[in-house]
Structure 1
């Protein structure tokens, strides 16, 4: 049973919830990852109760499921092993073939923001659930015919959809959820997560890169939404694999191999890695502390590179492409990092200049989700009652 907090936070009117369902604690270590009986939990921001709706109409866009195969063309088709030369014709083909899936990602996250952040009420919440249910009933994202680009698209869609689901499922009053609908959506997430796991498990070391990190984040978000300990443990193992790739100088060799896109892909890798570590810490697994030296050096290298890419250019021998990097979505990982572990040198300036940050595949309105204090309860304590919104 959910119990509303006694704190009404600031002028925003947002209320935070307490529930036995989220008093779970995670696992002891990456190597021996086992969920405790109470289950998995998200950061506190996911449980914020939206403002009461002020009325008015809400137009819900139900995105019809992607049909057919997921054999998509790579935007780098024809490029050499660096995979860094954009093929405009192939990119256009990819955009057209995957358009429905990308629209679905954006729609479910936008509706979750409408519900939690903008106060559009139960109709926005139901818009998330009805979209997910529509795709679940169609068993979308599970074609027999899927290539490596389709596998990448599937994991990104899982990351966005699972975050939208986790937000509304966590913050909605229990009576508002239809058990049969929840069961259908949960079952679909489990099948999609299994598909992602199957492809990204036991990959050759030479192939492991940012795609594996995104797969781990997508499966982790789904695991928390469905309370799946097996998927949770797999995600932690993939994070461990990622940390083992970091060189002594704090760079990722597979992302360095992207030559003039090395900075772009290092920054892209930091997005899922940051959120995995934060979700793990919420559940009692302090990955940030366990890998502090290498993990912080990697993050600092990325922040430094965004400010001045000279070091990366010396390492790769290539001037770095910077389009789309310093944006509200490209830098979204910095807000959770700064709130959880304190800002690294250079982060405050980027956040001040390019915030408020948002990112569909990291959860949507990142400022809303992570500018609360504390981010999680201490030890096995229940959900904290005294929570404040940072201004």
Structure 2
């Protein structure tokens, strides 16, 4: 399933003409790189060698990890496991109504408060499924796995998330459901093969996730960045995981196609041009793209494909990682791609850096390891949940480098919408 990738357009309004010219130059640079594959060429790319080889493979080796956790004396991991001795009962979680009505979410930038209020049930869903999966891994108690299956089955029976409002000028509901889908699929992949019975519930959930993924991914996003940028990578993330769970090669290949697209479209330095075109948020969006790309690569690699060493037009994912670290350390390395006065707000939150934990299980990179130490334990309610619990080698780090109160701060949602 490959799609057209038109160059993005941007409105500049009545800005000063020099600023407008600057934006046009950036867009031209991004467009030149982004069109390295024409639509016709993209249709001819053959991803048929990528097929689902193990529908029961989660995004990490769950059995091996639970065995490691049984014997660990790592204080950080033990604290995380204690944290997951849940206080909220399964009955309480199951009492929450599924989102079976038409979903419409106001835009974030014009109305952050209204957006947060409308989005809260979606946040709760992602928190619930990641917590149940994490509690299952930490305790190995089937209570949590069975609760997760019952929870998702309730949403499947209601055909929740099926009805959402979408137009080219109002895409927020489309954006917001992305993370719910990959959050549910990744959590479900942890427990499904290990919980015996419940076959009818599993069948319902599989069909529901597959149905949602195909409907949602059929929307290309129009002529703006959503067709091809980080939102494409987010759609690819759920496509890969749900494709595996439901043994659907078409969905799985859609997920793989995003990796090829991202590597192909890189600037010579390793930047993602549609992310760099975000101006003062270029660094944030370079990192944001990596969050989904590397998590997706981990899912794909569990099917036996060496995508972490994949090269397209001489670029590998290592180029994008090295470029990110360079522009974080020295924003002047952005050169003419974006202003050097970069937004740094995202660096307060561990959720943006869960991909690093995964990446470091594939490559040794001391600067990345040192950077991640200040954020551990890392957690992302959508993109995998308790990632440090699932991936960090027990000998790496014993204690968090930040105060516990930071973890309790309100988390900035990672599904930042595109500016229209």
TM-score range, shorter chain: 0.7 to 0.9
| 1:185 has 2:205 as partner | yes
Match of 1:362 among 383, 386, 391: 383
Cα deviation, residue 221, structure 1 = 1.6
Secondary structure of the residue aligned to 2:112 is helix
Q: What's 1:45 paired with?
A: 61
Matches within 5 A, 1:255-266: 255-266=275-286
What whole-Å deviation, never above 9, does each CA across 1:14-43 have from its counterpart, x for those lacking one?
Answer: xxxxxxxxxxxxxxx973334266546334
CA distance in 1, matches of 2:267, 2:294: 18
Cα deviation, residue 336, structure 1 = 0.6
Contact 2:156–2:205 (CA<8 Å) still a contact in 1?
yes
CA distance in 2, matches of 1:143, 1:153: 13
Cα deviation, residue 143, structure 1 = 0.5
Cα deviation, residue 293, structure 1 = 3.2
Distance 1:64 1:41, change over 3 A: same
Q: What's 1:235 paired with?
A: 255
CA distance in 1, matches of 2:243, 2:52: 14
CA distance in 2, matches of 1:31, 1:106: 34
Match of 1:97 among 115, 118, 133: 118
Q: How many pairs does the alignment contain?
A: 329
Contact 1:278–1:340 (CA<8 Å) still a contact in 2?
no
Q: What's 2:241 paired with?
A: 221
What whole-Å deviation, never above 9, does each CA across 1:183-212 have from its counterpart, x for those lacking one?
Answer: 1111110111112221148x6585411000
Secondary structure of the residue aligned to 1:223 is helix
Q: What's 2:360 paired with?
A: 338
CA distance in 2, matches of 1:262, 1:178: 46
Which stretch of structure 1 is more off in the superposition, 253-262 or 274-283?
A: 274-283
Q: TM-score, normalised by structure 2?
A: 0.71
Distance 1:348 1:144, change over 3 A: closer
Secondary structure of the residue aligned to 1:272 is helix
Contact 1:30–1:285 (CA<8 Å) still a contact in 2?
no
Cα deviation, residue 329, structure 1 = 1.1
Q: TM-score, normalised by structure 1?
A: 0.76
Secondary structure of the residue aligned to 1:153 is helix
Secondary structure of the residue aligned to 1:134 is helix
Match of 2:229 among 209, 219, 222: 209
CA distance in 2, matches of 1:243, 1:294: 6
Matches within 5 A, 1:174-323: 175=196, 177-200=197-220, 204=223, 207-291=227-311, 293-312=315-334, 315-323=337-345
Contact 1:40–1:283 (CA<8 Å) still a contact in 2?
no
Distance 1:169 1:30, change over 3 A: farther
Secondary structure of the residue aligned to 2:239 is helix
Which stretch of structure 1 is more off in the superposition, 30-39 or 229-238?
A: 30-39
Distance 1:316 1:57, change over 3 A: closer
Q: What's 1:82 paired with?
A: none
| 1:64 has 2:97 as partner | yes
Q: What's 1:154 paired with?
A: 177
Contact 1:108–1:127 (CA<8 Å) still a contact in 2?
no
Contact 2:263–2:316 (CA<8 Å) still a contact in 1?
yes
Cα deviation, residue 313, structure 1 = 6.9
Uncovered stretches (5+) of structure 1, i.e. residues with no partner: 1-28, 77-86, 373-388
**Alpha-carbon RMSD:** 2.8
Matches within 5 A, 1:27-46: 31-35=47-51, 39=55, 41-46=57-62
What whole-Å deviation, never above 9, does each CA across 1:67-100 have from its counterpart, x for those lacking one?
Answer: 4322322213xxxxxxxxxx3xx12121112211
Structure showing the higher strand proportion among its residues? 1
Cα deviation, residue 219, structure 1 = 1.4
CA distance in 2, matches of 1:92, 1:303: 33
Contact 1:275–1:336 (CA<8 Å) still a contact in 2?
yes
Contact 2:57–2:189 (CA<8 Å) still a contact in 1?
no
Q: What's 2:192 paired with?
A: 169
Secondary structure of the residue aligned to 1:159 is helix
Contact 1:132–1:185 (CA<8 Å) still a contact in 2?
yes
CA distance in 1, matches of 2:125, 2:164: 20
Q: What's 2:133 paired with?
A: 112
Uncovered stretches (5+) of structure 2, i.e. residues with no partner: 1-44, 71-80, 397-420
Distance 1:284 1:200, change over 3 A: farther
Distance 1:270 1:30, change over 3 A: farther
